[in-house]
């Protein structure tokens, strides 16, 4: 039986712990439209969530954490960043569940999708309210992926993740619990200097 749930108060976990090996620098601090890629993500979620915003840092901790000063986020360092995305998700969810605040669910975002904005996240919350499903994911380029909105009933599953596939296994194993929103620009992410050059190249 598929549970009917409602996320009234959401938090957010932004994953910013990666090594950026193909980029060769702290890519999330690269400027885009007047602010860093990471601050785009932070401001997008702060426009919609009522709960805490957790940023999980890792390989570029010394660069990323000072850049977040004054942003009002909760910073959590993932010392196991070499394991992959799952370790960062576990760290972020653990921080939320230990915060003592009442939340019904959380967004999980990566920091290198430059076109994530408040409007997209509002559509995801509305989709969850309409479907009452415990997961709402973004749909782009034949991919069901980030950002993803999880009801708190899925937190135990998130805390058991391992490896570098993030939460994709949860989406694949629970297709009947997943609603989607169309996000064509989600296919744009920044992995290499060439990706960033294409993003910032004048039209």
CATH number assigned to the domain comprising residue 137: 3.90.550.10
Q: Are 25 and 63 in contact (CB under 8 A)?
A: no
Helix spans in the chain (H): 37-46, 61-67, 85-97, 118-131, 155-158, 168-173, 193-200
Domain of residue 49 covers: 10-200
Domain-embedded: residue 188 = yes
Per-residue pLDDT of the chain (203 residues; tens, 9 = 90+): 788 999 999 999 999 999 887 887 889 999 998 999 999 999 999 999 988 999 999 999 999 999 999 999 999 999 999 888 999 999 999 999 876 668 999 999 999 999 999 999 999 999 999 999 999 999 998 899 999 999 999 999 999 998 877 788 999 999 999 999 999 999 999 888 899 899 988 76
Q: Quote the CA–CA distance of 195 and 47 in Å, as a whole number.
A: 27
Q: Quote the CA–CA distance of 20 and 117 in Å, as a whole number.
A: 22
**CA 158 to each of CA 90, 183, 188: distance values in angstroms, whole numbers, following the listed order:** 6, 23, 25
3-state secondary structure of 81: helix
Checking DSSP bridges between strand 143-151 and strand 105-110, what pairing results, if any?
antiparallel
Least Cα distance to 100 among 7, 16, 8, 11 occurs for 11
Domain-embedded: residue 5 = no
Residues 6+ apart with CB under 8 A from 62: none
What does the block give as tokens for 197?
A: 């050059």
Domain-embedded: residue 150 = yes
Domain-embedded: residue 80 = yes
CA-based radius of gyration for the chain: 16
Residue 36, beta-bridge partner list: 31
Least Cα distance to 137 among 97, 188, 171, 98 occurs for 171
Q: How many domains does the chain have?
A: 1
Domain-embedded: residue 130 = yes
Q: What pTM, to 2 d.p., does this model score?
A: 0.95
Domain-embedded: residue 2 = no
């Amino acid at each position: 039986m598929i549970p009917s749930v409602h996320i009234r108060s959401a938090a957010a976990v932004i994953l910013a712990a990666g090594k950026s090996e193909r980029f060769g620098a702290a890519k999330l601090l690269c400027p885009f439209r007047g602010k860093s890629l990471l601050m785009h993500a932070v401001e997008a979620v702060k426009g919609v969530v009522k709960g805490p915003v957790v940023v999980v840092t890792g390989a570029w901790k010394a660069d990323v954490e000072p850049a977040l000063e004054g942003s009002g986020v909760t910073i959590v360092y993932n010392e196991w960043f070499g394991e992959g995305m799952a370790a960062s998700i576990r760290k972020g969810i653990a921080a939320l569940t230990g915060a003592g605040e009442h939340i019904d669910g959380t967004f999980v975002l990566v920091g290198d999708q430059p076109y994530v904005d408040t409007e997209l996240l509002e559509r995801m919350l509305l989709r969850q309210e309409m479907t009452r499903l415990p997961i709402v994911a973004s749909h782009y380029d034949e991919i069901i992926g980030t950002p993803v909105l999880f009801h708190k009933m899925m937190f135990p599953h998130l805390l058991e993740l391992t490896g570098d596939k993030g939460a994709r296994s949860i989406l694949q194993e629970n297709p009947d619990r997943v609603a989607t929103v169309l996000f064509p620009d989600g296919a744009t992410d920044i992995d290499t200097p060439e990706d960033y050059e294409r993003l910032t190249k004048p039209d």
